[in-house]
């Protein structure tokens, strides 16, 4: 489902004074109904620095997020506005406006740190908004970035127990970083030559050499920004209007704003639209609105419980939710596809039924493969196969029941005259037995010539003839034209014919059982093939992400070496070595085929033939 119409923003994560962070259920429901990939842009910065204005422009209007015209912070918590992406078809743009950092009314730095952390965890692009210039004061105001290793965990507690430094993995998970400098009045020059906005940011992020605490304090926020975020972009904005007009900014027409500000705002929006990617999880899984909503709940609940949000745990929890849903969606698809074929029941042959089932199962499996992820132990695929076997069994029984009803209706109609003649005593006379046999054989011939009786034709005929056995025997014994020897021969013939039909039924059931087993093996091969393709694709995404990480860190290492930061260079060297080990392990990982066959075949064949050897 695409984004629901949102005429205005609403609170996603509430942050009332004296209360824990809470996810607004109404906003969550909107996210849960968005099945499109989401591009998530979050903005952070000190209160009253114009963050909301930029977010409103990204949403396509000048009103929406509260701007405010006083020193009082308007945005509390994290507010959300979901709009169709202006240029990326099939994507939803999710804008997250955060309450101003350093709100004097709250005076809660811990609260600010959690809001900052949530903005990073939920976004694919993080916009940091500040006033004036990128100087030491601006860096000091961004001290939250230096606390991220205390606020965010990449791996579960087991890895944490090993005291591993996880910050090297942040770049894999973190959003891109954009620094917006508002009311910028300086010239973009260095040594008398013009420089770009991006170069201005990179120069501001340069590290100082030295070992003293003052140098370390200077370098730490810069190192974090360079090291944690995978791209860095800068925009500098002139003041939008006069000081008096700033107090009614949302009411100003575009023609009343400074042209340079209008131009830069348009460039900013254009850059966000064109360069901000859909949010992804580790391994390259694309995040939908539904996934984003579940992530918001997972991270917020972790904070409420007093623990540190863990990306790995959040992804595992998401996988459980999504994989359970994938199973149900796949089963629903199977039912939908089967319902389209139900008019063809009863099928003339078992093969026809199995072909219908196989096509419906294939469509269901495609749905599962499209929605599931990180089903590493095949737990959910096992569940799907087991439930599809049960559904096949249910539909095979229905197919048989429809066949039985049709066959009985045919026999009832064909036997009307025979039943009437029996009740009238037509065959209770010399020569009556031969006449009865002739009419019965004629009825059987006509029944056998009737088309579209379904898979139970032989069994229902046998039941019908068995019901007539006593009547046939009575007519035989009452026929005075036959000798005892002729009667004995007639009885033996009737028994032989009945035994032959039973033999045919048994052979037919055995053949159907073999067909069912063969069909189930084909089904398993299809599951195996699809899962292998999916895991190969997942492996490819992991390797590509690792290669990208290695290239990024090689660039960082080269930069550190050039500038004489040997300790940092060695740290990066170690991280690169670990990434190469991860890639090597992923490349050598065996495909799922053998595991799938060994684990799932007994389940898949557990119900084999159950629907094909049952007497109605």
Higher pLDDT, 427 or 535: 427
Cα angle at 207 between 204 and 210, to 5 degrees?
A: 145
Which DSSP symbol is given to 307? S
Closest Cα partner for 374 from 486, 283, 451? 283
Report if residue 268 sits inside a domain: yes
DSSP string of 400-463?
A: HHHHHHHHHHHHHHHTHHHHHHHHTTTTSSTTHHHHHHHHHHHHHHHHHH-S---TTHHHHHHH
Is residue 138 pLDDT above 80, yes or no?
A: yes
Spell out the alpha helix ranges (H) of 450-592: 457-467, 469-478, 484-562, 566-587
* 396 & 304 share domain: no
CB atoms within 10 A of CB 425: 11
Report if residue 480 sits inside a domain: yes
Asked if 460 contacts 407 with a C-beta cutoff of 8 angstroms, the reply is: yes
Is residue 105 pLDDT above 80, yes or no?
A: no
Identify the pLDDT of residue 72: 39
Report if residue 554 sits inside a domain: yes
Query: In the block, which residue shows the tokens 């890639």?
Result: 583
Report if residue 320 sits inside a domain: no
Identify the pLDDT of residue 1: 55
Is residue 97 pLDDT above 80, yes or no?
A: yes
Closest Cα partner for 544 from 587, 591, 589? 587
Identify the pLDDT of residue 71: 35
Omega of the bond prior to 382 within 30 degrees of 0, cis? no
Lowest-pLDDT choice from 35-44, 444-453, 456-465, 565-574: 565-574
* 329 & 278 share domain: no
The average pLDDT across 218-232 equals: 92
CB atoms within 10 A of CB 546: 20
Is residue 251 pLDDT above 80, yes or no?
A: no
Closest Cα partner for 319 from 572, 538, 520, 24? 538
Residues 6 or more apart whose Cβ sits within 8 Å of residue 505: 458, 459, 462
Residue 101, Cα to own-chain centre: how many angstroms?
A: 34
User: What percent of the chain has a predicted confidence (pLDDT) above 90?
Assistant: 60
Q: How many CA atoms lie within 13 A of 60 on its CB side?
A: 13
Written as six digits, the tokens of 197 are 């906005």
Lowest-pLDDT choice from 17-26, 228-237, 246-255, 429-438: 246-255
Asked if 99 contacts 21 with a C-beta cutoff of 8 angstroms, the reply is: no
Written as six digits, the tokens of 96 are 């997250």
Closest Cα partner for 369 from 381, 355, 379, 358? 381
Question: What is the value of pTM for the model shown?
Answer: 0.84
The average pLDDT across 416-438 equals: 94
* 511 & 418 share domain: yes
- Given 244, 277, 309, the domain boundary residue is 309
Written as six digits, the tokens of 409 are 């209706």
Written as six digits, the tokens of 508 are 């037919």
CB atoms within 10 A of CB 116: 24
Asked if 82 contacts 4 with a C-beta cutoff of 8 angstroms, the reply is: yes
Is residue 604 pLDDT above 60, yes or no?
A: no
CB atoms within 10 A of CB 80: 27
Asked if 348 contacts 454 with a C-beta cutoff of 8 angstroms, the reply is: yes
Query: In the block, which residue shows the tokens 């005075």?
Result: 480
Spell out the alpha helix ranges (H) of 59-135: 109-122
Count of structural domains, the chain: 2
Higher pLDDT, 456 or 48: 456
Asked if 313 contacts 282 with a C-beta cutoff of 8 angstroms, the reply is: no
Report if residue 212 sits inside a domain: yes
Is residue 140 pLDDT above 70, yes or no?
A: yes
Identify the pLDDT of residue 242: 63
Task: Give the span between the Cα atoms of 611 and 462, in whole angstroms.
Answer: 19
Task: Give the span between the Cα atoms of 106 and 523, in whole angstroms.
Answer: 61
* 356 & 500 share domain: yes
Q: What is the mean pLDDT of the chain?
A: 87
Task: Give the span between the Cα atoms of 9 and 412, in whole angstroms.
Answer: 69
Asked if 45 contacts 54 with a C-beta cutoff of 8 angstroms, the reply is: no
Task: Give the span between the Cα atoms of 490 and 499, in whole angstroms.
Answer: 14
Asked if 62 contacts 29 with a C-beta cutoff of 8 angstroms, the reply is: no
Residues 6 or more apart whose Cβ sits within 8 Å of residue 238: 183, 184, 185, 258, 260, 261, 264
CATH number, domain of 521, equals 1.20.1000.10
* 272 & 346 share domain: no
Model pLDDT for residues 439-490, shown as the tens digit of each residue: 999 999 999 999 999 999 999 999 999 999 999 999 999 999 999 999 999 9
* 580 & 605 share domain: yes
Task: Give the span between the Cα atoms of 134 and 205, in whole angstroms.
Answer: 9
Written as six digits, the tokens of 299 are 């991270």
Task: Give the span between the Cα atoms of 446 and 395, in whole angstroms.
Answer: 29
Task: Give the span between the Cα atoms of 80 and 12, in whole angstroms.
Answer: 6
The average pLDDT across 291-316 equals: 93
Which DSSP symbol is given to 239? -
CATH number, domain of 152, equals 3.40.50.300
- Given 282, 309, 336, the domain boundary residue is 309
Residue 157, Cα to own-chain centre: how many angstroms?
A: 26
Report if residue 5 sits inside a domain: no
Structural domain boundaries enclosing 517:
325-616
Model pLDDT for residues 485-509, shown as the tens digit of each residue: 999 999 999 999 999 999 999 999 9
* 465 & 504 share domain: yes
Identify the pLDDT of residue 506: 95
Per-residue pLDDT band at 88 (split at 50, 70, 90): very high
Identify the pLDDT of residue 68: 44
Cα angle at 350 between 348 and 356, to 5 degrees?
A: 90
The average pLDDT across 318-335 equals: 96
Report if residue 314 sits inside a domain: no
Is residue 616 pLDDT above 50, yes or no?
A: no
Cα angle at 101 between 96 and 105, to 5 degrees?
A: 115
* 273 & 361 share domain: no
What is the three-class DSSP state of 283?
coil
Which DSSP symbol is given to 66? -
Is residue 428 pLDDT above 60, yes or no?
A: yes
Cα angle at 259 between 253 and 260, to 5 degrees?
A: 135
* 276 & 337 share domain: no
Report if residue 315 sits inside a domain: no
* 99 & 21 share domain: yes
Is residue 607 pLDDT above 70, yes or no?
A: no
Is residue 323 pLDDT above 90, yes or no?
A: yes
Query: In the block, which residue shows the tokens 């709009």?
Result: 83
* 345 & 222 share domain: no
Question: Maximum CA pair distance of the chain?
Answer: 131
Lowest-pLDDT choice from 41-50, 259-268, 474-483, 604-613: 604-613
- Given 280, 309, 338, the domain boundary residue is 309
* 341 & 253 share domain: no
Asked if 235 contacts 181 with a C-beta cutoff of 8 angstroms, the reply is: yes
Identify the pLDDT of residue 255: 72
306 burial level (CB within 10 Å; 0-12, 13-18, 19+): exposed
């Amino acid at each position: 489902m695409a984004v629901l119409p949102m005429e205005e923003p609403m609170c996603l994560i509430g942050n009332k004074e004296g209360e824990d962070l809470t996810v607004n259920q109404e906003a969550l429901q909107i996210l849960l109904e968005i099945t499109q990939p989401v591009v998530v842009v979050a903005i952070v910065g000190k209160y009253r620095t114009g963050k909301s204005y930029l977010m409103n422009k990204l949403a396509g209007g000048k009103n929406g997020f509260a701007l405010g015209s006083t020193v009082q912070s308007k945005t509390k918590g994290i507010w959300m506005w979901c709009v169709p992406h202006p240029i990326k078809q099939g994507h939803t743009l999710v804008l997250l406006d955060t309450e101003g950092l350093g709100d004097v009314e709250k005076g809660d730095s811990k609260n600010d740190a959690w809001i900052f952390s949530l903005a990073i965890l939920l976004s694919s692009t993080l916009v940091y908004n500040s006033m004036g210039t990128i100087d030491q004061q601006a860096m000091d105001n961004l001290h939250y970035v230096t606390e991220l290793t205390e606020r965010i965990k990449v791996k579960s507690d087991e890895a944490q127990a090993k005291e591993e430094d996880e910050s090297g993995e942040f770049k894999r998970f973190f959003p891109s970083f954009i620094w917006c400098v508002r009311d910028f009045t300086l010239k973009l020059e260095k040594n008398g030559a013009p420089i770009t906005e991006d170069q201005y940011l990179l120069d501001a992020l340069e590290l100082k050499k030295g070992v003293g605490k003052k140098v370390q304090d200077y370098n730490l926020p810069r190192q974090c920004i360079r090291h944690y975020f995978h791209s860095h972009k800068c925009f500098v904005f002139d003041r939008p209007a006069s000081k008096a007009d700033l107090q009614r900014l949302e009411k100003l027409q575009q023609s009343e704003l400074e042209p340079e500000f209008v131009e830069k705002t348009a460039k900013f929006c254009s850059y966000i639209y064109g360069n901000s990617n859909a949010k992804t999880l580790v391994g390259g899984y694309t995040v939908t609105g539904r996934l984003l909503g579940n992530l918001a709940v997972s991270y917020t609940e972790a904070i409420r419980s007093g623990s540190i949000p863990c990306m790995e745990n959040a992804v595992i929890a998401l996988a459980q939710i999504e994989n359970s849903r994938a199973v149900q969606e796949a089963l629903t698809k199977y039912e939908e596809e089967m319902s389209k074929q139900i008019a063809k029941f009863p099928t003339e042959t078992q093969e026809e039924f199995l072909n219908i089932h196989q096509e419906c199962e294939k469509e269901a499996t495609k749905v599962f493969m499209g929605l599931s992820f990180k089903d590493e132990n095949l737990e959910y695929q096992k569940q799907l196969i087991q439930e599809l076997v049960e559904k096949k069994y249910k539909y095979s029984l229905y197919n048989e029941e429809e066949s039985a009803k049709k066959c009985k209706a045919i026999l009832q109609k064909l036997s009307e005259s025979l039943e009437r003649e029996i009740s009238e005593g037509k065959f209770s006379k010399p020569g009556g037995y031969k006449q009865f046999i002739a009419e019965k054989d004629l009825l059987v011939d006509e029944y056998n010539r009737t088309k579209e009786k379904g898979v139970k034709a032989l069994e229902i005929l046998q039941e019908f003839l068995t019901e007539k056995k006593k009547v046939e025997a009575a007519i035989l014994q009452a026929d005075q034209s036959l000798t005892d020897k002729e009667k004995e021969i007639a009885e033996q013939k009737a028994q032989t014919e009945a035994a032959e039909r039973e033999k045919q039924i048994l052979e037919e059931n055995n053949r159907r059982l073999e067909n069912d087993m063969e069909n189930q093996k084909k089904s398993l091969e299809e599951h195996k093939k699809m899962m292998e393709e999916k895991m190969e694709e997942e492996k490819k995404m992991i390797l590509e992400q690792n290669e990208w990480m290695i290239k990024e860190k090689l660039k960082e290492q080269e930069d550190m070496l050039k500038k004489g930061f040997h300790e940092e260079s060695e740290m990066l060297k170690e991280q690169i070595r670990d990434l190469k080990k991860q890639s090597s392990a992923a490349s050598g990982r065996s495909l799922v085929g053998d595991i799938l066959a060994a684990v799932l075949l007994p389940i898949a064949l557990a119900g084999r033939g159950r629907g094909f050897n049952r007497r109605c």
